[in-house]
Structure 1
Amino acid sequence: MQVTEEPYVRLNTEGKVGVIEFFHPNRNSMPSDVLAKLEQTIIEAGKNDAIKVIILKSGGNRTFCAGASFNELIAIEDAETGKQFFSGFANVINAMRKCPKLIIGRVQGKSVGGGVGLLAATDYCLATQYASVKLSELSIGIGPFVIEPAVSRRIGKTAMSQMTINAEAFYAANWAKEKGLYAEVFDTTDELDQAVLSLANKLSSYNPEALKEMKTVFWEGTNNWDDLLNQRAQISGTLVLSKFTKKTLKRFR
């Protein structure tokens, strides 16, 4: 009997640590409903007084996040639907940015497109040697407009533009560490999990008021992101209707 794996977003509490896990059977790609659930779960965890620190992780062993759902992308037929589609990652990034709790990223494998945006929006990110990254959007006629502010903030405009222009290449985990996307890279998932939990437990023992104030300091200068990421979603939502992109996407239909 074949077991069908269903998408999910879960919040579990381990002591003072809130663990948010998302999953989709298609390489942890993120359709709109999963993104909306992830946004709300982050907001919920941020309001939970019992939670002092948040861990963000994905299910499965191979891929952290393959980015936006390609099936939804192909189905877009008008600019408003396109804007709403690309607003999904914008809303999650803004929820992470405004969350009063520190968010630790736990990255076991590859990330593409919007998945890289999620990594960049964490406050501290740990990964395995298999956690390579790619920004493939330009190759299909769009561009990583929505996630650019988060990625550029983390690794700088130069590295961001390098990934964007070389859109079909994966960049190794150690490259991502050198650029500041990851704080540490581990050989195995077991080592990663031990380090993530150790750090989260340590942070959860610190003064929660100090953690909250530091989070505010970390994200100074980003108060315009609600509007900025919304504008970027509109750009992508229009470009996805271009003849170039439609023609390119037909190969994946």
Structure 2
Amino acid sequence: MEKSGTVTTSMINGIATISFSHPKSNSLPSPTIKKITEAINDFATDKRAHVIVIRSEGEKTFCAGASFDELLRIKDFKTGKEFFMGFARLINAMRKCPKFIVARVQGKAVGGGVGIIAAADYTLASSVASVRLSELMLGIGPFVVGPAVERKIGNTAFITMSIDAEWHDAFWAKQNGLFTKVFANNHDLDEAVSALVKKLTACNPEAIAQMKKIFWAGTENWDKLLEERAEISGNLVLSEFTKRYIKAFKDK
């Protein structure tokens, strides 16, 4: 893996796959977020793609969320807002994509990783997968990913995740609607992903596109909403509290 992380794509028999990786627990620096977003937008208009799978490499961590290294380098509001706009554009790309997006979750997911899971249309996970919204501990909050997460799991569960900032296991995530199905191991997970997407490639693309519109009804204001949320995060990330926390975490 490159130090900056990688994003690879493939297309086989109508199944488009986006796979990302980063040596630091599959974290998401801006270039990685941008590449994932571009891949989703490309597959959205590619008639050969009937379904999209989003996944990450490795066995223990799906996604560690925002890159702490990059957060520490943010020195002004404009840079801060633009960093969080990366997540906003990714979530909106997933929302607007006329194809079903299936997330394959093999391990832990934090912050932005939870946002990706929530913005997917169908999520299959391993029993060792777990989720956490840790933003409050950083001195910010789950502002940009919040609408996607709250839409998927409801207000009460979203508040719980946002305030306690603790790990919630795969069965909690399934019970609250973040995971669609949970499997005993990665082998069973991969078999289930394969079977599902193969079935979806045989479905009418026009019907899927119309279903996506229905599933995401009421989110038409998200371009504006997520930009406003990015501005909140862009301001808060400049605080001394956040800088101290991230530096202390990195120095452990």
* Residue identity matched to 2:172: W
2-structure distance, mates of 1:213, 1:249? 43
SS in 2 for 1:252: helix
Answering whether residue 214 of structure 2 is matched by residue 217 of structure 1, we say yes
For structure 2, the residue ranges without an aligned partner over 5 or more in a row are: none
One-letter amino acid of the structure 2 residue matched with residue 217 of structure 1: I
Cα deviation, residue 247, structure 1: 2.6
User: C-alpha offsets along residues 171-226 of structure 1, whole Å, 9 cap, x if unaligned?
Assistant: 00000000000111001101001101100010110111111110111011111101
Matching of residues 22-41 of structure 1 within 5 Å: 22-41=20-39
CA RMSD of aligned residues (A): 1.2
Instruction: Tell me the distance in 2 between the aligned counterparts of 1:5 and 1:137.
Output: 24
Partner residue in 2 for 1:152:
150
**How many residues were matched structurally?**
250
Following TM superposition, the consecutive aligned residue runs of length 4 or more in structure 1 with deviations greater than 3 angstroms are: 3-6
Q: Secondary structure at the match of 2:168?
A: coil
Q: State the 1:75 CA deviation.
A: 1.1
Taking the aligned partners of 1:98 and 1:220, their CA distance within structure 2 comes to 11
Distance in 1, matches of 2:152 and 2:138, equals 24
Summarize the alignment of residues 1-253 of structure 1 with structure 2, pairs less than 5 Å apart.
Answer: 7-167=5-165, 169-253=166-250
In 2, Cα distance between the equivalents of 1:4 and 1:147? 26
For normalisation by structure 2, the TM-score amounts to 0.96
Rounded Cα–Cα distance in structure 2 between residues aligned with 1:138 and 1:105: 25
Q: Deviations over 1:4-61 (max 9, x none)?
A: 6662111111201111111111110000001011100000011110111111111111
Q: CA deviation at 1:244?
A: 2.0
Paired residues of 2:14 and 2:201 also in contact (CA < 8 A)? yes
SS at structure 1 position matched to 2:109: strand
